[in-house]
Amino acid sequence: MNAPATFPTGAATVDTAPLRRFVTGFAALLDDTEDLDLILERGGALLAQLVARDTWLQEEYAQANPDGYQQYLLHCDSAERFSVISFVWGPGQATPVHDHRVWGLVGVLRGAEKVQSFGLRDRDGALVQLGATRDLLETEVEAIDPRQGDIHRVENAYADRTSISIHVYGANIGAVHRATYRATGEERPFVSGYANTTIPNIWDAARSA
């Protein structure tokens, strides 16, 4: 288990430095390279550092909603080169089967998730699961690579508590036109949006620990 926060994670008291360092580090990475393998490798290492400690997420971006999983934007790059999102699953909640159409990285901050990958069958275009359902455990990171297929379904591994993962995508993901999939393989248009109208101010160094 990740160490619990050592101080109350209220808006005014949370340490904004870990997320600020992550964002500036990711910007430097994208300034350095456009090679997707490098972005996923080095970006994955940065995300692993971020989710290794659970001390920096304000409570308002960690709230589950009984109506369904929540996507709280934490940061969007000025040029929409990348966005950072807190995904919050209440007990037993799951996404529909969906795609991304941009690269992504997922790191589990709290709890665990079950992940299923899918492809479309050559013969009739129907949705088929690829490989076994797998667990993504607290502090683990995985990549979403559209070159290798990016259709999946993600579910809270727990029926009795909230799980939270931190996602990074190669776009302002809440505005990307993408799709969910029926069992037949039929696509339905999907624009996820965000649950939050305000995002954390991580830029006030005076408020950092």
Binding-site positions for Fe cation: 98, 100, 152
Tokens of residue 98, six digits = 């969906």
Name which of residues 55 to 74 contact its own copies (CB under 8 A).
60, 73
Q: Is 180 in the site for Mg ion (CB under 5 A)?
A: no
Which H or E run includes 70? strand 70-76
Tokens 């995985």: give the residue.
142
The stretch near Mg ion (CB under 5 A) out of 54-62, 159-167, 169-177, 184-192 is 54-62
Name which of residues 10 to 49 contact its own copies (CB under 8 A).
11-12, 23-24, 26-28, 31
Contact pick of 15, 54, 142, 150 for Mg ion (by CB under 5 A): 54
Site string for Mg ion, 88-117 (x = CB under 5 A): ----------------------x-------
Exposed, middle or buried by CB within 10 Å (0-12, 13-18, 19+), for 118? buried
Neighbours of 71 (CB within 10 A): 19
Which H or E run includes 155? strand 151-156
The stretch near its own copies (CB under 8 A) out of 43-51, 119-127, 147-155, 188-196 is 188-196
Q: Is 92 in the site for its own copies (CB under 8 A)?
A: no
- What residue type is assigned to position 24 of the chain? T
CB-based contacts of 63, cutoff 8 Å, min separation 6: 70, 88
Tokens of residue 16, six digits = 């904004």
Residues in contact with its own copies, counted by CB under 8 A, come to a total of 36
Whichever of 1 and 205 has its CB closer to Mg ion, that residue is 1
Tokens 């934490």: give the residue.
74
Whichever of 32 and 135 has its CB closer to its own copies, that residue is 32
- Whole-angstrom Cα distance, residue 71 to residue 202? 18
Under the rule (CB under 8 A), what is the footprint of its own copies?
Answer: 11-12, 23-24, 26-28, 31, 60, 73, 75-83, 172, 174-175, 191, 193-194, 196-201, 203-207
